[in-house]
Amino acid sequence: MRSLIIHLSSAGGRTENVSRLLRDLPSAEVVEAVDGNDPAVPAQIKQVAGTLHHPPYPFSLNAAEVGCFLSHRLCWQMIADGDAPYALIAEDDLAIDPVPFANAMKLVAGYADEDSYIRLPAKPRERVVGAIAYEGDAALFVPRTIGLQLVCQIVGRRAARRLLAASEVIDRPVDTTLQMHWVTGQKVHAIMPSGVSEVAGPSTIQRKTRTSDVLMREMRRARYRAQIKRRPQKA
């Protein structure tokens, strides 16, 4: 299985972890991330202000979020154009716990195909309900509400094409877009425990928000997430 590690080399700080991932992930290679602060980036994809899909997204995309979305689209395109039925996409802050990760990879080997999108969550935000299969403690299942963050996932070739078609215009971050299975047409599975976590360090896409705006943002975020939960996936 091919592994694609998204890494913005100019950002620095994660070079050592990328070297570790190149050793630990199967057939791994580095994919240079798109720098959202590059003045040429806005011309690479059409953007609208949170109104393309329902529910509307209450925040504007920042440059780092656009770069992150385009970086994942770059990996989807590589998978869509490749010969393999699926590949692993990792962000450069991925950390691996070998034993549970090995169990997760056994589930991937047994169940992944060209239509698969399988999340390996870094945080236990999805709840295991109606597990499809187990390997040790690891369960493969369809989460009712798809979690955020894209530290590690398995993406099939047809799934990649589906996601590319659904994101020719963007209006919200890539992980938030992937929550909307009714828009992408892509069923999302998850494996927990996944053996995946994040290395310590600041987020490369985190917003700087004035203290006076924090409460309002949290209220908007809570309302938005409640709307997403009203559209659960079905097993």
CATH 3.40.50 fits 2-229, yes or no: no
Query: What pLDDT score was predicted for residue 12?
Result: 79
**DSSP E strand stretches across 85-208:** 86-91, 94-96, 117-119, 133-135, 138-141, 152-156, 169-170, 189-192, 196-198
Query: What pLDDT score was predicted for residue 202?
Result: 61
Q: Report H helices in 91-208.
A: 98-111, 157-166, 174-179, 181-184
Write down the pTM of the prediction.
0.93
Query: What pLDDT score was predicted for residue 20?
Result: 97
Flag residues of the chain having pLDDT under 50: none
Query: What pLDDT score was predicted for residue 210?
Result: 62
Pick the closest to residue 199 from 9, 13, 70 (CA basis).
Answer: 13
Query: What pLDDT score was predicted for residue 52?
Result: 95
Query: What pLDDT score was predicted for residue 11?
Result: 83
**Domain assignments of the chain as residue spans, ordered by start:** 2-229
Spatial distance between the Cα atoms of 228 and 125, rounded to a whole number of angstroms: 14
